[in-house]
Structure 1
């Protein structure tokens, strides 16, 4: 497990932190169970493939000296050792055309700052444990987007969120195109479900869905003039693919980016529609799943 290997090299005093692993099939439920079992003041959530820097706990702890701060996190970077497809996915996520307002989740940009859920990602995110538990943790009806829903609630109450670009982890992208399609559909569906739970719609949420509907309907109308925006979209995707390939000095990602960009937008848009029309959750907030939490390292004092 990559995360455990990285934790073995941390420079944070060994007797001041503990490590718990939550096993199960519903990540939001697993994380809540681990949070209840934890004994520290700060919860730090990592995925099992998140590769951390040795000083990451020290960097995160410094931000919590500000009593207004409820959550601290950093970006998830794509390793240079990933395959061309994985690198293309990482480039798209980190670009204005692909990632848009959430692209800083996937790149180092600027300095540490107060931020929003747009820049924070759960594979590299910490919370004050008392606030996390006081808000009943992550909404267990959601996966993904469970962290976004919680951070929205915290910010509405006046708490601050911090994005620190130097608090970065490395984490590989999906290995196959099929897995990437499932990922984007799940991301979109989670956003649609989160929108229903929050009862507030961000207009940008619907942009990929409107693009999908437009791309499906306009060719059927047989009006060439209405095809111009669609052609403009593909021209933008072409230019973004070329720019991504040149900026990364990696010609191998260019043909893959040509596929990744439309997939990212259109499949995500389909997921949003599904999440809005047929959410997976039913009834109240809590669900029941089998979860096992193992404490692999405990406080030593």
Structure 2
């Protein structure tokens, strides 16, 4: 069975990354699709080889924009991608195969770092794709084996339109984290599956180390900490708590050096092991300079995540 696909891209205004994304969409091997652009305000675009709709939405968040895009979508499959990402030529093809099975509600795949990214962007990508720093989430950033999962990122998410509408779409003001809620709705309400296929690949430009990257991490952590309480089914996992444990340990280590320096060296052994294992994990395939900056970025990522995870966990509500 063939499916018509609606590729939906929410963003604020036209930018070079979006133009790159549209260029690569033209190269897709699966041709039965349309593209729906969702800028804040009306904009003009050149003609492409595919049907293109431009729908000004006003200053809404990505979740609300995607819900607006769904209303205009003609496809039976909705393919969500961000404006700072672009698809591999075969992005849609594996998903079409999976959607032949009615029990599948959504398909996702990795969002890898492009080779064209800057040095500091690549370092950010290494922080995300390294198992030592990202734990069980590395499949989101580099291709791994096909599997069934319970959470997926909306930068690379394809869903069955009928299932999307059954659960009410994203229907949330959360961002980031809107994708966590949608995936949970598919699993809990519809009892359907989400499949991770490494061949459904997109390339995602990273936020540069340090401040842009850490700002993004803080938002991920803030929402995940809150979602532990709000959506525990696919958020209550030990892996998400580890940066907080590490942050608390670092605070205790600092206090030990200040007030109990005679035992501080012994108490430092876990941190020394942390440094050794982290550097060992990233230096195998990368230059010394890239490994060094990635280590610093990873260390600050763990601390930032740990702090904002606690903040989210203690919050009574989150707003965009």
Please give the TM-score of this superposition, normalised by the length of structure 1.
Answer: 0.84
Q: Give 1:71's aligned residue.
A: 106
Q: Give 2:237's aligned residue.
A: 202
Q: CA RMSD in A?
A: 2.2
Please say if 1:149 is aligned against 2:176. no
Q: CA deviation at 1:230?
A: 5.0
Match of 2:87 among 36, 52, 67: 52
Distance 2:232 2:150 in 1: 18
Cα shift readout 1:4-25 (whole Å, capped 9, x = no counterpart)? 1111112223xx3211112334
Q: Which runs of 5+ in 1 are unaligned?
A: 288-301
Cα shift readout 1:258-286 (whole Å, capped 9, x = no counterpart)? 2111111110111111212235536xxxx
Change (3 A) 1:226 1:132: farther
Please say if 1:252 is aligned against 2:284. no
Distance 1:199 1:8 in 2: 39
* Bigger relative CO (Cα 8 Å, ≥ 6 apart): 1
Match of 1:126 among 140, 158, 164: 158
Please give the TM-score of this superposition, normalised by the length of structure 2.
Answer: 0.79
Change (3 A) 1:237 1:107: farther
Distance 1:229 1:152 in 2: 41
Match of 2:75 among 23, 33, 40: 40
Change (3 A) 1:187 1:134: same
Q: Which runs of 5+ in 2 are unaligned?
A: 1-17, 40-58
Q: CA deviation at 1:77?
A: 0.6
Please say if 1:102 is aligned against 2:140. no
Aligned residues: 277
Distance 2:317 2:72 in 1: 27
Change (3 A) 1:166 1:183: same
Distance 1:252 1:179 in 2: 20
Distance 2:119 2:197 in 1: 27
Distance 1:50 1:75 in 2: 11
Q: Give 2:313's aligned residue.
A: 276
Distance 2:162 2:194 in 1: 15
Residue 156 of structure 2 contacts residue 202 of structure 2 at CA under 8 Å; is this kept in 1?
A: yes
